[in-house]
Structure 1
Amino acid sequence: MIEWVTVSFGARPVPRPVATPLVWGAAFGGALSLVTLLNALAGPGQPGLALTALSLLAALSGLCARFTAAPGTAVLCWLILNGFAIPPAGTLTWAGHRDAFWLACLCTAALIGTAMARCVQARAAYRRISTTTSEPADGPGDF
């Protein structure tokens, strides 16, 4: 009986996260583009919709980033949200609880995205390292 076994030399490393300045640049550019698109389609003054969209962007940015990039990603998304998604456009304000909540939502989204990516990568690395033996299938064509 012939048993096919995969041979690999050494474990493949877990992918390295993207450099933090690149993540921040992508988050800033993506947030600016996203808010511009939302303002064109839904009109300005839709902070709930913009917060939801920017939270998804922060989570997607977190998929390829380090944990240390999450606060900066949240602040950059908040700057665009505060400056361009709520009237008057181009004016930064601080509205206490509202802005603290927005920052917390954006930072949590970025951290969740990063944690999800790390869990998926760790699980894949564990599966690559663990030894598995597969039993040969009984069927036509087996020797």
Structure 2
Amino acid sequence: MIEWVSFRSGATPVPEPVATPLVWAGAVGGASVLVALLNHLVGPYRPTLALTVLSLLAALLGLCARFVAAPGTALLCWLLLNGFGIPPAGTLSWASHRDGFWLTCLFGATLVGTVLARLVHAHAAYRRLSTVTDAPRVGP
């Protein structure tokens, strides 16, 4: 006998992503702490190291976010990198090649994290919902 069960009644096949405002709050808070920590420990104005660390943060935030959060996450990380990771501190600037590359890296890292999370969750859901293949086969 087949029993139909609604996914909303208990187990969800794929976890719900975190709300976008919470992801953005994590981006602002995390990027602020990381840039300040890097400026204090390694020394100020090490943009390559800061970009690498913020890209990792963006990828981690992407693991629990929706796709629509990616542009905002990248932009918020870039604002803190640009404002406090390069001289003069507290001043936003735009150098098209450098900042375009930074935004691309941060956006790409966020998308990679989000895509990776979606693939892992989809694969886990498929394994939970797939039929049992241990039944004996009839035929050739």
TM value normalised by structure 2: 0.87
Equivalent AA in structure 2 for residue 83 of structure 1: G
Residue 129 (str. 1) matches residue 129 (str. 2): yes
| Residue of structure 2 equivalent to 1:83 | 83
Partners in 2 of 1:28 and 1:10 — Cα distance?
38
Partners in 1 of 2:30 and 2:46 — Cα distance?
18
Deviation for aligned residue 1:10: 6.0
| Residue of structure 1 equivalent to 2:38 | 38
Deviation for aligned residue 1:47: 0.3
Question: 1:1-143, aligned counterparts within 5 Å?
Answer: 12-13=11-12, 14-133=14-133
For 1:39-69, what per-residue CA distance to the aligned partner results, in whole angstroms no more than 9, with x for missing partners?
0011111000000000000000000000000
Q: How many residues align?
A: 127
For 1:90-127, what per-residue CA distance to the aligned partner results, in whole angstroms no more than 9, with x for missing partners?
00000111001000000000000000000000000000
Give the % identical residues.
69
- Moved beyond 4 Å, runs of 4+: none
Equivalent AA in structure 2 for residue 70 of structure 1: A
Deviation for aligned residue 1:132: 2.4
Q: Which runs of 5+ in 2 are unaligned?
A: 136-140
Superposition RMSD on alpha carbons, in Å? Answer: 1.4
**Largest Rg, 1 or 2:** 1
Deviation for aligned residue 1:131: 1.6
Q: Which runs of 5+ in 1 are unaligned?
A: 1-8, 136-143
SS in 2 for 1:17: coil
SS in 1 for 2:89: coil
